[in-house]
Chain A
């Protein structure tokens, strides 16, 4: 997702990471109890996990996250007017880039004189599953995060 942000920056596409709540709390990263802790974890996301996009932090009660469906790692694309034009209940870079290319192409078509009207489409996209990588991520949070996920999903 960082690479996509870099690749489309000069086409007037912005990208942010919106910090929500700890989906898999563990001994090293327990559940959030303060904004100070939330800011600290968000800085770790930047410094330890290498998120280079601007990080914005939601309220401690997750007001924004909850209003948008509170999925643990979803992605939305908005236009300049604050209207969502894409939403995905999981983040997949290929899906996001595919959507961006479509919207940027639509801008070009309009510049070329095409009269376009919006319509709704539903599509089932597919993401790569990386179970080993996911468990390695859980281990960063602490053994509790690993055992709880294993108990929930095997």
Chain B
């Protein structure tokens, strides 16, 4: 899948099963107990950080994934 196709598929424009079902991949998510992959993330002021950097700040960190919609 090209980068453009990935952007369009991930940011689907309609909530129809053929758009959202392919993304329901919880059973393929990283296992517990093993260091999980790191990714860049951005604060609301535009500053860049990363998931790993954020997790280092506390003994435990709760991460809720979601959006306005």
Binding site for B on A (CB under 8 A): 1, 4-5, 11-26, 29-33, 35, 39, 41-46, 48-49, 53-87, 89, 91, 96, 100, 103-104, 107, 118, 120, 137-138, 140-141, 144-145, 148-149, 151-152
Do A107 and B59 touch across chains, with their CB atoms under 8 A apart? yes
Do A77 and B35 touch across chains, with their CB atoms under 8 A apart? no
Task: List residues of chain B with CB within 8 A of the CB of A56.
Answer: 41-43, 49, 51, 54
Residue in contact with A78 in the complex, picked from B26, B61, B65, B69, CB distance below 8 Å? B61
With CB as the reference atom, state the residue of chain A lying closest to B39: A64
Do B14 and A148 touch across chains, with their CB atoms under 8 A apart? yes
Task: List residues of chain B with CB within 8 A of the CB of A39.
Answer: 42, 44, 46
How many chain B residues sit at the interface, stated as a range, is: 35 or more
Do A82 and B10 touch across chains, with their CB atoms under 8 A apart? no
Main secondary structure of the interface of A (DSSP, over half): mixed
Do B41 and A64 touch across chains, with their CB atoms under 8 A apart? yes
Residue in contact with B25 in the complex, picked from A5, A25, A30, A69, CB distance below 8 Å? A69
Residue in contact with B59 in the complex, picked from A12, A20, A66, CB distance below 8 Å? A12
Do A86 and B32 touch across chains, with their CB atoms under 8 A apart? yes
Q: Which of B22-69 contact A (CB under 8 A)?
A: 23-44, 46, 49, 51-52, 54-69
Do A22 and B69 touch across chains, with their CB atoms under 8 A apart? yes
Given contacts A13-B60, A23-B20, contact A69 B41 (CB under 8 A): no
Do A75 and B57 touch across chains, with their CB atoms under 8 A apart? no
Apart from A14-B54, A46-B44, A48-B68, what are 7 other A-B pairs with CB-CB below 8 Å?
Answer: A24-B69, A25-B15, A55-B43, A65-B65, A82-B36, A118-B33, A145-B69
Residue in contact with B14 in the complex, picked from A25, A70, A96, CB distance below 8 Å? A25
CA A44 to CA B68, docked complex, whole Å? 7
CA A137 to CA B68, docked complex, whole Å? 9
Do A19 and B66 touch across chains, with their CB atoms under 8 A apart? yes
Do B63 and A77 touch across chains, with their CB atoms under 8 A apart? yes
Do B51 and A79 touch across chains, with their CB atoms under 8 A apart? no
